[in-house]
Amino acid sequence: MNRVSIMFDISPVSHEFDEEIQHKIDNKTKPLGALGELENLAMQLARVLGKDKPEIIKPKLLVFAADHGIAASGVSIAPSDVTTQMVMNFIKGGAAINVFCRQVGFELEVIDCGILQPLEGVEGIIEQRLGAGTNPIHKQAAMTLGAVKQGFEMARNRIEYHHQQGTNLIACGEMGIGNTSSAAAIMASIMNIKGSECVGRGTGIDAATLKRKQLLVEQALHLHQPELTSPMNILACLGGFEIVQITGAMLAAAERKMLVVVDGFIATAAAMVAVQINENVRDYMIFGHQSDERGHCLMMEHLQARPLLTLSMRLGEGTGAALALPIIQAAAGFYNEMASFSDAGIEI
């Protein structure tokens, strides 16, 4: 086990009570397996949160925001200024993620991991800056290994705060113009496939911009190939400040036996790195949805993940993770509250 794995001491979930949990699920007033994936989800909740009465407590959705140097080369429909503008929209409560969090009962937190212009004096934002945007990954490493380690510690501290408040489920969203390029490069590196197979249209770029984006991602992979020998190096060479902190948050949450709801393409890239660092983190992950971004389906296959929702979304922000919360709560609800055949006096 490498040193980073040891830094995050994550226990695999126990399967000791699987038979008891399955018996409880099977004896609810329904045909065997009739609740489909909800039954598998209930099994996971019971393993992580306890077999007697698993409950979701104080769920938090953390949006990690940062800028990317590659954005200056025209890989998106929007300039980097939009990252800051959208962060302000989050703070004011006007974005899709705000609407969905209010609707489903997620408490939203916005974290500045390194947007270009710091929002000094703005209430409602957590400052965990690692810099003012990363370096362009097709020209040089995105950041230093020191920045990756610092980002992990910042994320760990934030998760510890929420753990102390009683939270047992977090979801991770993101905002950062250019971050699908970084996520695609990470995916290609981990899966050892061509960058062109991973690069999609992001927020809706045209064919010419897509070709440029593919070329720059391939350039980044070629430039850093000798260094892409560990998860930490992959993050340092190809990552984003928000991707680093999402990775750290996932690992820290699993270490505290909290459930982790994974959002779309960028968050799943972070999940892939987290699993490379400590495979036990996978036991705590729930995949909220399958994004419409090219490559996300391959990511899910790589992680042997089944998304709860497939809605052709590609917005980011954590929106898919937010919409999954009622499904997760429904799985806990039927497990805890649905009558058994004996409770209902039904003989089969």
Where b means 16+ CB within 10 Å and e means fewer, 18-37 reads: eeebeebbebbeeeeeebee
d(C-alpha 245, C-alpha 232), whole Å: 12
Rounded distance between C-alpha atoms, residue 348 and residue 343, angstroms:
13
Task: Tell me how crowded residue 81 is: count the other CB atoms within 10 A of its CB.
Answer: 14
Cα–Cα distance measured from residue 9 to residue 251, given in angstroms and rounded to the nearest whole number: 9
The token pair at 279 is 């495979």
What is the Cα–Cα distance from 236 to 257, expressed in whole angstroms? 27
Tokens of 219: 């350039």
Q: Catalytic pick from 127, 242, 317, 347? A: 317
Two tokens, residue 226: 């000798």
Angle at 200 between CA 194 and CA 206, to 5 degrees: 125
Which of 177, 202, 173 has its CA nearest to residue 81?
Answer: 177
Please tell me the total number of residues recorded for the chain in this structure.
348
Cβ atoms within 10 Å of 279's Cβ, excluding its own: 13
Q: In this structure, what token pair is assigned to residue 259?
A: 């459930």
**Gap between the Cα atoms of 4 and 20, Å rounded:** 35
E-assigned strands of 243-305?
259-262, 285-287
Our answer to whether residue 218 is catalytic in this structure is no
d(CA 281, CA 300): 15
**Residue 185 contacts by C-beta under 8 Å, 6 or more apart in sequence?**
137, 195, 198, 217, 220, 221, 238
Catalytic residues: 317
